Amino acid sequence: MITRPPIDELTEKAGDKYTLCCVVAKRAKELNNNPDLGQNVKPISYAADEFDEGITEIAKK
């Protein structure tokens, strides 16, 4: 469960929970295959942090 950053803040940035879920899950899947991430780091938490910091953005179609 993601507690930091708060889900409510992430949802505001994403617009809705569905979009947030899609963005974070897609990035976490990419990170899951990255051996440089480390053993103690959870990809979903790392992806949420990246989204909160603006590193990962939502692609507009």
Annotate 21-61 with DSSP letters as a single string: HHHHHHHHHHHHT-GGG-SS--HHHHHHHHHHHTSS-PPP-
**In-domain check, residue 2:** no
**In-domain check, residue 1:** no
pTM of the model: 0.82
Which range of residues forms the domain containing residue 31? 7-53
pLDDT at 14 over 70: yes
**In-domain check, residue 35:** yes
Report the percentage of the chain scoring pLDDT > 90.
Answer: 46
Count of structural domains, the chain: 1
**In-domain check, residue 60:** no
pLDDT (0 to 100) of residue 25: 94
Give Cα 38 distance to the centre of its chain.
17
**In-domain check, residue 45:** yes
pLDDT at 1 over 70: no
pLDDT (0 to 100) of residue 60: 73
pLDDT at 33 over 60: yes
